[in-house]
Amino acid sequence: MSSVNDCKIIYLPRIASRQGCISPVTSCKDISFDIGRVYYLYDVPDGESRGGHAHMQLQQLLVAVMGSFDVVIDDGREKKRFTLNRGDQGLFIPKLIWRELENFSTGGICLVLASDIYDEKDYYRDYDAFLRAQNR
């Protein structure tokens, strides 16, 4: 079973110069999984939240590449809140963790590196089904 303690801030490389910064992310080096998909959340209206589900197998790294937002993670027993606001830090979320993304700043962008392609069958969108999977 996964726990909120398995969710960790990953410090990404930051190569800074007079012209700005670049943060490369390499599979199995900076993050523990192979990247199977990249997507991003943007234009999130004020007061709206995203997420509200868990994944059976998917692992992800969430990075605030612009602005900020909060991620509330929940293993069915304990919850933790992370505020992401840096391009050189990401939140690693393993499988079987419920997540809610909220408090997006205006223009906030969440970049997601995911371990696999999109598969709706990998989602727990029902909280009780998620709790059963976590043996809670």
Q: Which residues bind ligand T46 (CB under 6 A)?
A: 37, 39, 41, 50-51, 60, 62, 99, 101, 112, 118
Gap between the Cα atoms of 18 and 59, Å rounded: 34
Which of these is catalytic: 8, 50, 53, 80? 53
Residue 118: CB minimum distance to ligand T46, A: 3
55 has catalytic annotation: no
Backbone angles phi, psi at 4, to 5 degrees: -60, -25
- State which residue, 112 or 133, has the beta carbon closest to ligand T46: 112
Per-state percent for the chain, helix, strand, coil, to nearest 5: 10, 45, 45
CB neighbours of 47 closer than 8 A, spacing ≥ 6? none
Minimal distance in Å, beta carbon 105 to ligand T46? 16
Q: How far is the CB of 112 from ligand T46 (least distance, A)?
A: 5
Closer by beta carbon to ligand T46, 94 or else 99: 99
> For the CA atoms of the chain, what is the radius of gyration?
15
Alpha-carbon 99 to chain mean position: 8
Which amino acids are annotated catalytic?
Answer: 53
